[in-house]
């Protein structure tokens, strides 16, 4: 199984579909560099948006301020967060998609998830907790009645989603970008109610003490 998984990862990291044979819109404007981490033994899977410019440069997911915030949300230090034996990080897009006219990141390239997600997830048999970060992951992996009111509406329903009789357990999260600092200030229940449950779950899975809580400055196997 490990050999098969390693072959798959080599294929993913060599992928150039969005550059050489794009299915949607213009070709990627820069050299592809798929950024993800995973091992078949992973118990937690973070399905995120797409790497930003800093992650593209480093080749490592979440190497920017949003990484500091999401690690704080999860109660993990860098060593635990980047341990692919326990934590898989798979974007809806694997490569930095470029910037829009306002300087923000473009949406994730659709080719990535369509080509690779099912193949990767099929080789992660031990996932017990799936984190859906942002609207693109949530719209893909949750039923429409959970996502029709946007990210806020989805995350508000976190308890129904998380406590559903599903394997793996699923938790929706907002994007940890600094742009969402105002959202966190307006929705204090996120840190007061959701994060303690999430951190306790992760601490139990990884058998480590959660860090002190603080502010840092799938479609699943079956539909819900």
Residue 83 belongs to a domain with what CATH number?
Answer: 3.40.470.10
Distance CA 118, CA 128 (A): 17
- Classify residue 188: in a domain, yes or no: yes
Question: What is the tally of structural domains in the chain?
Answer: 1
- Classify residue 15: in a domain, yes or no: yes
- Classify residue 195: in a domain, yes or no: yes
Q: What is the pLDDT of residue 103?
A: 82
- Other CB atoms within a 10 A radius of the CB of residue 138 amount to 24
Mean pLDDT of 203-223: 51
**Contact 75/211 with Cβ under 8 angstroms?**
yes
The 8-class DSSP code of residue 191 comes to: I
Query: Helix, strand, or coil here: 77?
Result: coil
Look at residue 219 and tell me whether its pLDDT is greater than 80: no
What is the reported pTM?
0.91
- Classify residue 99: in a domain, yes or no: yes
- Classify residue 213: in a domain, yes or no: no
- Other CB atoms within a 10 A radius of the CB of residue 40 amount to 17
Q: What is the pLDDT of residue 221?
A: 36
CA 219 to chain centre: 13
- Classify residue 220: in a domain, yes or no: no
Q: How many residues does the chain have?
A: 224
Mean pLDDT of 180-198: 97
Parent domain of 95: 2-206
């Amino acid at each position: 199984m490990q050999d098969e998984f390693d072959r798959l990862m080599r294929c993913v990291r060599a992928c150039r579909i969005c550059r050489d044979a794009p299915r949607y819109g213009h070709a990627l404007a820069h050299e592809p560099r798929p950024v993800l981490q995973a091992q078949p033994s992973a118990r937690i899977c973070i399905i995120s948006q797409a790497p930003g410019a800093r992650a593209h440069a480093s080749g490592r997911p979440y190497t920017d301020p949003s990484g500091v915030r999401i690690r704080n949300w999860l109660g993990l230090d860098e060593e635990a967060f980047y341990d692919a034996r326990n934590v898989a990080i798979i974007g809806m897009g694997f490569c930095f998609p470029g910037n829009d006219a306002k300087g923000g990141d473009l949406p994730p390239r659709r080719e990535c998830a369509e080509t690779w997600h099912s193949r990767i997830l099929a080789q992660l048999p031990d996932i017990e907790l799936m984190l859906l970060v942002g609207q693109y992951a949530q719209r893909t992996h949750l039923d429409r009645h959970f996502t029709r009111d946007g990210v806020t509406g989805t995350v508000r329903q976190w308890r129904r989603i998380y406590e559903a009789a599903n394997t793996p357990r699923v938790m929706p999260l907002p994007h940890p970008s600094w742009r969402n600092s105002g959202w966190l200030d307006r929705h204090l229940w996120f840190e007061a109610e959701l994060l303690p449950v999430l951190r306790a779950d992760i601490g139990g899975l990884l058998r480590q003490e959660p860090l002190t809580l603080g502010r840092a400055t799938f479609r699943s196997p079956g539909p819900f």
